[in-house]
Structure 1
Amino acid sequence: MRRPVVGWCGIALALLSACASTAPAELLDRSLRFDPPIELPEPDQLGTTSLEASLRERRSAREFASTELPLAQLAQLFWAGQGVTDANGHRTAPSAGALYPLELYAVTETTVSHYLPDGHRLEQRPDPRPWPELADAAFAQSFIGDAPTVLVISGVVERTEARYGAVASDLMNREAGHAAQNILLQAAALELATVPVGGFDPARVARLLGLPPGEEVLYLIPVGVPPG
């Protein structure tokens, strides 16, 4: 059952004019900062859909309605991917050594958002520049531009390297798979359309989003309400 919730992109729409620019998205200033974080709606940790039903219903879907993804659903997807689940800081997805190298973002036509697991918060910046080129950076897979929101999983391998050395990158990539599957199953429980995308130019997507050096893009997950 889809949960009625409040839209989220309006948080930053009033500030868009401050970020307007004719510069190409790939020249995005990496020093750009997000607005102060906001608290997200509390995640639903009980739900009404069983794990088995979510496994059965999960499908790769490439068609989306233009409906904006509500903030509460976005918050639930973020929590499924990297939410904190106890007082010791453990998260929904396993991590080698509990070092948590992953970062989660959401990109829309108007904003770039970054999930902060501690405190279940979101920081945003009004930024329409990455969106027009995101599908092209994914080898012109047009359905990416059809989705109202694209989730981005990135990773900072140096967080894992100190302990795991040469295998750190492999461990981080596996962890991205754990987080992605959590997100896909949560999307199925929310009756959302989504598909994991591994075909893209990671360096170009990182430039489009203005990610800092050392942060690598690992997965794109377009998500939205199914058509009809």
Structure 2
Amino acid sequence: MKKTTRRNLLKTKLLIPIIITGAITATLGILTQTPKNNNMKERQTRTTTNTIKLPPPRTDGPISLEQAILRRRSRREYTDTPLQLTQVSQLLWAAQGITEPKVWIGLRSAPSAGGLYPLEIYVAVKKGGVQELEPGIYHYKPREHELELLIKGDFSEQLMTACVEQEWVRDAAINLVFTAVVERTKRRYGERGWQYILQESGHAAQNVYLQAETLGLGCVVIGAFYESEIEKILDLPSGEIPIYVMPVGSLK
């Protein structure tokens, strides 16, 4: 019995270092593992060769942040003056542009719970709305800072109808449509993810408001719309829902 006990003790002493070493190795493996790029994995990609590289955004504006906050208003009256591509570029960068490309999947201009970035932005350009763009529905790609043309045509009238006949939607040079791929956030946070998505859309929209002021443009946030109609116009994939519509135009 004594010999058996000694053998068991010896085996235990030999196994303990092996177990500890294995546990440490596994832990280090977890810590050094590259985070999964959930954002890119779940992105609703659409094959298109029609992409437009946007001009690089400016990081110095004509007015101070304090002045932009002071002037910020919801503006619904626009002229027919077309926007410049540089202005569209600046608005999109303010909403969801990459501000730190070297960190994980790229940090953006608006905060996001868990860095999951559920928001997508579409740009509905009406005929003559932007000097360098043909009318159509475009999708913004933050990492490349590009627009991809998804659907050709002027959808300003259809968007106005979908937004309960609010005429400033029709009159705007462009309409920014914020959507959310809900599962990106809900997969980690469950039902509370809805709250985080709505918070994030507010952050991004306020950035657009402030950027519009620095560019001398007007914009307004619209939450009154028929979701199903917006989904049809944008041809949204399953699981992606509209959150905001933001008309943007030159001020009268």
TM-score norm. by structure 1 comes to 0.82
Equivalent pair of 2:156/2:169 in contact (CA under 8 Å) = no
Matches within 5 A, 1:186-197: 186-197=211-222
Larger RCO: Structure 1 or Structure 2 (Cα < 8 Å, ≥ 6 residues apart)? Answer: 1
* SS of alignment partner, residue 224 of structure 1: strand
Matches within 5 A, 1:42-53: 42-53=56-67
Task: Note the C-alpha offset of 1:32.
Answer: 7.5
Equivalent pair of 2:125/2:154 in contact (CA under 8 Å) = no
Q: 1:158 to 1:32 in 2, by over 3 A?
A: closer
In structure 1, C-alpha distance between the alignment counterparts of 2:216 and 2:234, rounded to whole Å? 28
Equivalent pair of 1:130/1:209 in contact (CA under 8 Å) = no
- Is 1:209 aligned with 2:209? no
Matches within 5 A, 1:124-139: 124-128=149-153, 130-139=155-164
Aligned residue in 2 for 1:225? 250
For residues 18-69 of structure 1, the C-alpha deviation after alignment (integer angstroms, 9 at most, x for no partner) is: xxxxxxxxxxxxx975443222100001222111000011111111011111
Task: Note the C-alpha offset of 1:130.
Answer: 3.1
Of 125, 141, 149, the residue aligned with 1:108 is 125
Aligned residue in 2 for 1:151? 176
Task: Note the C-alpha offset of 1:212.
Answer: 0.8
In structure 1, C-alpha distance between the alignment counterparts of 2:194 and 2:155, rounded to whole Å? 26
In structure 2, C-alpha distance between the alignment counterparts of 1:92 and 1:105, rounded to whole Å? 17
Of 72, 86, 100, the residue aligned with 1:72 is 86
Amino acid at match of 1:145: R
TM-score norm. by structure 2 comes to 0.75
In structure 1, C-alpha distance between the alignment counterparts of 2:247 and 2:154, rounded to whole Å? 17
In structure 1, C-alpha distance between the alignment counterparts of 2:121 and 2:200, rounded to whole Å? 13
Aligned structure 1 segments of 4 or more residues deviating by more than 6 angstroms: none
- Farther off after superposition, 42-51 or 87-96: 42-51
In structure 1, C-alpha distance between the alignment counterparts of 2:46 and 2:158, rounded to whole Å? 18
- Is 1:94 aligned with 2:108? no
The structure with the largest alpha-carbon Rg is: 2
- Is 1:183 aligned with 2:200? no
* SS of alignment partner, residue 98 of structure 2: coil
Specify every segment of 5 or more residues in structure 2 that has no aligned partner in the other structure, as ranges: 1-44, 127-134
In structure 2, C-alpha distance between the alignment counterparts of 1:78 and 1:224, rounded to whole Å? 14
Q: 1:217 to 1:172 in 2, by over 3 A?
A: same
Equivalent pair of 1:40/1:72 in contact (CA under 8 Å) = yes
In structure 1, C-alpha distance between the alignment counterparts of 2:46 and 2:156, rounded to whole Å? 16
Q: Number of aligned pairs?
A: 197
Task: Note the C-alpha offset of 1:209.
Answer: 1.0
Aligned residue in 2 for 1:56? 70
Specify every segment of 5 or more residues in structure 1 that has no aligned partner in the other structure, as ranges: 1-30
In structure 2, C-alpha distance between the alignment counterparts of 1:211 and 1:130, rounded to whole Å? 15
